[in-house]
Structure 1
């Protein structure tokens, strides 16, 4: 389905969703984390529904003058690739950095951060069954975090994963994805890196995500990001 949507976008020249540089996590939490509106049981009339939705309605009606949780999207197609094998695969259903079979191959992005500080790092990563376990570094200047690739069932089944934090300066930055160790035949496929400035504590995952079985559904539905697969 995602591939068909991407093919349509390209055919008509539609622009994809872009990052909100003034993303306000506090207001987003009020609308989607403190109360999940999809879990409100339907009542027979709108009058009966009104008190059940009062908190959510108030949060949705609040105005925003912008927040400090600047969002930055780093897309696979925009990466500067230094590689002998790894490359950007441009088929609509792929739209990913793939063929990552050499640990020496790297991907980098040059971008501008509106604010200095710590940024939460989320990768939209895919990995075939039995191919997980590779170790990868995310570097920005002297700042660095590492993560272990998780298998997702298919290299083009992309799952968002929070993998750490990095420090960015205001203005020009370069972020590099560098494999440290390859566990199996390939490191991973990578569609997107998402950076979110942290001005308050708290995990990216919604508070209502308590059962493992629904984590993927809830996470991909309520994140302030574009579609995941």
Structure 2
């Protein structure tokens, strides 16, 4: 069996289609952001604001998915960018809809809309492979975060050695070959990192790949796991000689 760890065509939506989708969308469970309501339909998130002020910064909870596109529902109101923070996403309102237009922010993700849930465990695929994705990482510390931009889709900003990440997984038990998809910018290689799961650990040295988004697969070794639900796999830095871990 295999345990793989991933650290690594836009659809143009007219306002008329978006409005029809919003009317069919369902409320996002657990939405707590003030002065707004949120709805979802398939892979589109609709955030209905009471008001939109140019250059204001809107805070959104973290979602599990890549942000393919962000912008206003109103035609011609402009696209927006999503900036990830360790515990949330921020959107600077560099443009706003025209006066009289309803301020509805639309995010298009690469999968059905789902709020990030630190208690949701990854289960094995049909062939027994457990694929731990960056979007499901539970991050700890000052800077480490999930980056949802399409060209990134990674756990990044690992500039503080004490920051660390973990994943929840459920397995049927057995022997697993462990692989990691990692990238590392020029001049930042050489960090020593420890992977820990149950009572077993594997250590590896981060390989410089020329850019933080130049990802390569690395074989780390094997672990023998007991069957169980909501087990924790962690990545921690043991030594960081450069400006970033990876």
Scaled by the length of structure 1, the TM-score of the pair is 0.54
Which structure's residues are more often helix, by fraction?
1
Q: Deviations over 1:32-82 (max 9, x none)?
A: xxxxxxxxxxxxxxxxxxxxxxxxxxxxxxxxxxxxxx1011111111111
Q: Can you give the 5+ residue segments of structure 2 that lack an aligned partner in the other structure?
A: 1-7, 11-65, 70-106, 113-121
Q: Can you give the 5+ residue segments of structure 1 that lack an aligned partner in the other structure?
A: 24-69, 189-229
Q: 1: distance between equivalents of 2:156 and 2:191? A: 14
Q: Which residue of 2 aligns with 1:102?
A: 160
**RMSD over equivalenced CA pairs, Å:** 2.4
Asked whether the equivalents of residues 123 and 169 of structure 2 are also in contact (C-alpha less than 8 Å), the reply is no
Q: How many aligned residue pairs are there?
A: 136
Scaled by the length of structure 2, the TM-score of the pair is 0.50
Which structure's residues are more often strand, by fraction?
2
Answer 1 or 2: higher relative contact order, Cα 8 Å, separation at least 6.
1
Larger Rg: 2
Q: Which residue of 2 aligns with 1:21?
A: 125
Q: 2: distance between equivalents of 1:182 and 1:86? A: 14
Could you list the runs of 4 or more consecutive aligned residues of structure 1 that deviate by over 6 angstroms after TM superposition?
none
Choose the corresponding residue for 1:171, options 228, 231, 238. 228
Provide the secondary structure at the position in 2 that maps to 1:160.
strand
1:162 counterpart = 2:184:
no
Provide the secondary structure at the position in 1 that maps to 2:165.
strand
